[in-house]
Amino acid sequence: MSQSSQKARGPAYPRRYLSLRGRQGAIKQRPPAPSQPISGSAPDMSPRSEVEKLLGPGSERGGMMPDANLAARRPATLEQYLSGSAESLLSGAPLLESFYKDLQAPHVESPIPGVTPDIRRTYSARTHRLIEASIPALEWRPLSSIRRPISREREIRWLAENRNKYAGQWVVVEGDRLVASGPDSREVFQAAKQAGIEIPFLVQVEPEKQLPFGGW
Amino acid sequence: MPHNLTFSALHLYNSGEPGIALPVRLSKGADGVDLIAHLDTGASCCIFQRNYADSLDIDVETGEKTKFGTASGYFIAYGHEVSIIALDLEFQATAYFAEDYDFTRNVLGRQGWLNRVRLGLVDYEGKLYVVITTSIPNQSEG
């Protein structure tokens, strides 16, 4: 950042305010940005054409015009993105909340090309530490959680006992009870849903005597 | 030199069956479906029958088209971001759904599952030990 642009944005804040949480876990309050007169002359925004009269001043000079270099200026890596955000935070921009919400939003398109939603959600859980983390490590790290194990022992036992009878068919089994069966997986699945099964255990029954799998 | 590993889950499977089978849940949004998948250290990715994408209301062809090589040819599958739950672990990962309905395999492969867990296998006893990998590998280790 050049000195002139830094001056225009206001004073930089200490780097410690990049952290959302302090050592005791309390949210640090950023001091209010002191108002500073913006140096330099104001840009001429008077309408210059009929288009600008209709769309507003400046509509043909920058903001609303297609930016040919937009792709080149987008952050190509997470590091660049976070670096830009950190820079804005340092300059006192009201970015903290939107930045944090953006990272938390699970179903919106990632603002960073090539970064998948699950990776972004991983950041949000650890935002206060991830600003300085490197991208390869984050991309490698999965979004994961420990949960109650899925147990389908009774269903698997039912399948073993009834394999020959339903070989080749799609079945939904709940406990030791057959809920639906048939050649069309969609119909079988829908029948199970209509029967009130929230997450059906849907399996295409393999015949008992099948060729051993030889790998790919 | 001895090496000690610890695991969070033990799955008992029938070692008399052709593969190492374990129950898996795929979910996308509010939709979910349970199935049986096989552990496959030879598979690059997690690949499932197309029918499961139908159950999750996934438009298969909108995913990342990928050609997978096999010993005797290749097949096409499409990648979609889903939640894969197996044993006590849940991952957000790219699951590939086969283009062809005749594709009848469901496997947990390296990308998306095996590369996120530490695995212990005692096939003779039908025991599969798993724990989530929590450490980030050192960059210098490649």
Residue with tokens 């139908």: B54
CA distance readout (Å), A46 to A40, A60, A61, B63, B129: 18, 11, 11, 48, 71
3-state secondary structure of B70: strand
- For the stretch A77-128, pLDDT in tens is 566 666 665 555 555 444 444 444 444 444 333 344 444 444 433 443 444 4
The better pLDDT of the pair B88, A57 is held by: B88
Within 10 angstroms of residue A5's Cβ, the number of other Cβ atoms is 9
Contacts of B139 (CB under 8 A, 6+ apart): A134, A136, A137
Q: Which residues between 33 and 92 in chain B have a beta carbon less than 8 angstroms from any beta carbon of chain A?
A: 33-36, 38, 40, 42-43, 49, 51-52, 54-55, 68-71, 81, 85-92
CA distance readout (Å), A11 to A2, A5, A97, A205, B128: 13, 10, 20, 68, 58
Q: Are B81 and B94 contacting, i.e. CB atoms less than 8 angstroms apart?
A: yes
**What's the first-to-final CA gap in chain B, in angstroms?**
24
Q: What is the pLDDT of residue B76?
A: 96
ipTM for the assembly: 0.89
Q: Which residues between 102 and 131 in chain B have a beta carbon less than 8 angstroms from any beta carbon of chain A?
A: 104-105, 116
CATH architecture of B19-133: Beta Barrel (2.40)
Q: Would you say the pTM of this structure is higher than 0.90?
A: no
- Whether B51 sits inside 8 A of A186 (CB atoms) is yes
- Whether A143 sits inside 8 A of B40 (CB atoms) is no
Q: What is the pLDDT of residue B15?
A: 86
- Whether B25 sits inside 8 A of A199 (CB atoms) is yes
Task: Give the DSSP per-residue string, B74-110.
Answer: EEEEEEEEEEEEETTEEEEEEEEEESSTT----EE-T
Closest CA in chain B for residue A135: B139
Q: What is the pLDDT of residue B1?
A: 87
Strand partners, B33: B26
Query: In the predicted model, is pLDDT for residue A14 greater than 60?
Result: no
- For the stretch B19-76, pLDDT in tens is 899 999 999 988 999 999 999 999 999 999 999 999 999 999 999 999 999 888 999 9
The mean pLDDT of chain A is 60
- Provide the pLDDT confidence category of residue A53 given band limits of 50, 70 and 90: low
Torsion sign (Cα): B85, B86, B89, B95? negative
- Provide the pLDDT confidence category of residue A36 given band limits of 50, 70 and 90: very low
B3 DSSP assignment: -
Closest CA in chain B for residue A140: B136
Closest CA to B109 of B84, B74, B129: B84
Query: In the predicted model, is pLDDT for residue A73 greater than 60?
Result: no
- For the stretch B81-119, pLDDT in tens is 999 999 878 889 999 999 999 999 999 999 999 999 999
Q: What is the pLDDT of residue A181?
A: 95
- Length of chain B counted residue by residue: 142
CA distance readout (Å), A53 to A45, A48, A65: 11, 8, 15
Closest CA in chain B for residue A138: B136
- Whether B91 sits inside 8 A of A142 (CB atoms) is yes
Q: What is the pLDDT of residue B21?
A: 92
A166 DSSP assignment: T
Closest CA to B84 of B96, B69, B67: B96
Q: What is the pLDDT of residue A209?
A: 72
Closest CA to B46 of B104, B127, B142, B113: B113
Per-residue pLDDT, averaged over A67-74, amounts to 52
- Whether B23 sits inside 8 A of A185 (CB atoms) is no
Contacts of A43 (CB under 8 A, 6+ apart): none
Which of B55, B87, B110, B141 best probes binding to A when mutated, by most A CB atoms within 10 angstroms?
A: B55
Q: B4 vs chain A: nearest CA distance in angstroms?
A: 22
Contacts of A5 (CB under 8 A, 6+ apart): none
Which range is least confidently modeled, A25-29, A179-183, B38-42, B47-51? A25-29
**What's the rounded Cα separation, in Å, for the pair A202 and A140?**
31
Per-residue pLDDT, averaged over A20-35, amounts to 40
Contacts of A142 in chain B (CB under 8 A): 91-93, 116
Q: What is the pLDDT of residue A213?
A: 74
Q: Would an 8 Å CB–CB cutoff place B7 in contact with chain A?
A: no
Domain boundaries, chain B: 19-133
Nearest by CB to residue B87, choosing from A137, A149, A199, is A149
Q: What is the pLDDT of residue A148?
A: 67
Q: A73 vs chain B: nearest CA distance in angstroms?
A: 26
Contacts of A117 in chain B (CB under 8 A): 81, 92
Nearest by CB to residue B42, choosing from A149, A210, A216, is A216
Per-residue pLDDT, averaged over A155-171, amounts to 92
